[in-house]
Amino acid sequence: MSESLEDLTQAVLNFRDERNWAQFHGLRHLMVSLNLEASEVLELAQWKSDAEIEALAGNQELADECADVLAYLLLLANRAGIDLTAALHAKLAKNAQKYPVGKSYGRRDKYSALGEC
């Protein structure tokens, strides 16, 4: 995990451009594809027990689907002009406001329910 997001983005852009696929990568198509690939991650859990799902750790098929999700996320962010690093830090700051440690520690409640504790 030593490559930067920029390096990884360039790798998927190169893969795309070598195949002349940018013409198919409008924002809507990338949003759809990202969610379809995320669904393929979920599909790996279909009809499986909790133990079978936990056994997917280290599974190559799960790694492949995670890579597909990341590839489309990088393409989507590139197409939309999103700096994923900045976006993640901004979202973590927002979530820290919504889920203060003092109210959310060890709890799985949605932020809207945390005021009740």
Size of the site for Mg ion (CB under 5 A): 4
What binding mask, one character per residue, do residues 32-51 give for Mg ion by CB under 5 A, x or -?
-----x--x-----------
Q: 64 with 92: CB under 8 angstroms?
A: no
What is the per-residue DSSP string for 3-38?
S-HHHHHHHHHHHHHHTT-GGG--HHHHHHHHHHHH
Tell the smallest beta-carbon distance from residue 71 to Mg ion (Å). Answer: 9
- Which residue carries 């979530």 as its tokens? 95
Site pattern 50..89 for Mg ion (x: CB under 5 A): ---------------x--x---------------------
